[in-house]
Structure 1
């Protein structure tokens, strides 16, 4: 499997896509914790995804390191969400466009986003 192959200019390689999932875990970890520790609604601030991937140099990071970090980070997020109090699941989170969702929705959307990218990585095998 060619993990470094970039399918087109401006497109991420498989390694960079996995790195993006690490960045997503990082940003969502912060959201999952802050939504329980800060006043509602939590403002969900977007992050510059392209810049995060470029600055993190995932293309030049050993694949095994990326996979291990992604795996460990998501295990930690699973522990966090497994113990999410029922009352916290309904905490309100709001995007910068005013669209409001619950913390539960945010967690489920994180999983859907991750699955989308995993399928994309695997489909290019």
Structure 2
């Protein structure tokens, strides 16, 4: 499959990120809300989790692959990581996702994975890939 849209998002956002100051990356409206840097860190965590889904689902269906997003952001301590490192990680992970999804055979796109934390529910790999892109775009609007 061709996921050039994801590559285009990465390229466009990297240019936009250059216009954001270090202070803006680190600013938190409140202690409970994520900074722009933490939002991008969350997108790194999402990418890590989804790479696992994209690979594992090709050989093992209906695995339950989830993560606690707030715990991951706190555990990774993105707020105290230089913003350039978080950007570099985000770029690398998303370019890896492009390589990974472009190599998924079409017949594997209908294999399923459970991404829920409560009641088990299976989603096709094709759906999970599109949901990843939608989730990415949703959070990028907050940066």
Is TM (by shorter chain) over 0.5? yes
Q: Alpha-carbon deviation of 1:36?
A: 0.8
The answer for the alignment partner of 1:85 in structure 2 is 105
The answer for the alignment partner of 1:41 in structure 2 is 62
Q: Alpha-carbon deviation of 1:47?
A: 1.1
Q: Alpha-carbon deviation of 1:42?
A: 2.6
SS of residue matched to 1:101: strand
SS of residue matched to 1:31: helix
Count of residue pairs the alignment pairs up: 119
Q: Alpha-carbon deviation of 1:41?
A: 2.1
**Superimposed CA distance per residue, residues 33-83 of structure 1 (whole angstroms, 9 cap, x where no aligned partner):** 110122x2232x321111111111101111111101100110011011011
Q: Alpha-carbon deviation of 1:92?
A: 1.5
The answer for the alignment partner of 1:106 in structure 2 is 128
SS of residue matched to 1:3: helix
**Superimposed CA distance per residue, residues 70-123 of structure 1 (whole angstroms, 9 cap, x where no aligned partner):** 0011001101101110111000122341222100000110110011111111xx
Q: Which runs of 4+ in 1 moved over 3 A?
A: none
Say if 2:71 is the partner of 1:54: no
The answer for the alignment partner of 1:71 in structure 2 is 91
**Superimposed CA distance per residue, residues 12-51 of structure 1 (whole angstroms, 9 cap, x where no aligned partner):** 000000000000001111111110122x2232x3211111
Unaligned runs of 5+ in 1: none
Aligned equivalents of 1:98 and 1:37: distance in 2? 19
The answer for the alignment partner of 1:116 in structure 2 is 138
TM-score scaled by structure 1?
A: 0.89
SS of residue matched to 1:120: coil
**What is the root-mean-square deviation of aligned Cα atoms in Å?**
1.2
